[in-house]
């Protein structure tokens, strides 16, 4: 696993690295019960962001709860709000765009169907520093 640049993010004036932001997002998602939290360094493949964080949820309520917790924690810790949030009404696949980091919160069956991990399998994985916990 490689780690993306620890320098400032692409978003002007944010003062937080993409890696630090991704770790905050991952920790918030994990804390709310998100499963299979993974991140990929996609900056060399896509020009839209540096890191994709992908997380699964077992039900639609949990999808929304994870998205809300991530938004709250990123705002508290980094004083940032997402540039856009898509899919929150349907709660099957929520995309949160933080500029340099994009979060995908999937309902389990949606993640299985879209398989973003396979699509970006050539991208290096990012060490999020999460403590592995037993599956629920």
* pLDDT, tens digit (0-9, with 9 covering 90-100), for 65-76: 999 999 999 999
Domain spanning 18-119: CATH superfamily? Beta Polymerase, domain 2 (3.30.460.10)
pLDDT value at residue 9: 45
Q: Where are the domains of the chain?
A: 18-119
Residue by residue, DSSP assigns 78-136 as: H----SEEESTTTTSEEEEE-SSEEEEEEEHHHHHHH-HHHHTTTSPBP---PPP----
Do 67 and 94 meet the contact criterion of CB atoms below 8 Å apart?
yes
CA 30 to chain centre: 11
Do 54 and 116 meet the contact criterion of CB atoms below 8 Å apart?
yes
Rounded to 5 degrees, φ, ψ at 97 are: -100, 110
**Which parts of the chain register pLDDT below 70?**
1-14, 132-136
* pLDDT, tens digit (0-9, with 9 covering 90-100), for 20-37: 999 999 999 999 999 999
pLDDT value at residue 132: 60
Give SS3 for 11.
coil
Do 37 and 128 meet the contact criterion of CB atoms below 8 Å apart?
yes
pLDDT value at residue 135: 52
Residue 55 is inside which H or E element, if any?
strand 51-57
Rg value, the chain, Cα: 14
pLDDT value at residue 14: 62
């Amino acid at each position: 696993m490689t780690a993306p640049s620890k320098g400032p993010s692409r978003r002007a004036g944010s003062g937080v690295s993409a890696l630090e932001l991704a770790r905050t997002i991952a920790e918030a998602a994990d804390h709310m019960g998100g499963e299979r939290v993974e991140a990929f360094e996609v900056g060399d493949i896509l020009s839209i962001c540096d890191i994709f964080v992908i997380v699964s949820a077992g039900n639609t309520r949990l999808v929304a709860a994870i998205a809300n917790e991530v938004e709250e924690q990123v705002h508290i810790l980094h004083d940032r709000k997402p540039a856009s949030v898509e899919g929150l009404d349907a709660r099957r696949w929520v995309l949160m765009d933080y500029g340099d980091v994009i979060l995908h919160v999937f309902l389990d069956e949606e993640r299985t169907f879209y398989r973003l991990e396979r699509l970006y399998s050539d991208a290096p994985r990012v060490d999020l520093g999460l403590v592995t916990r037993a599956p629920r």
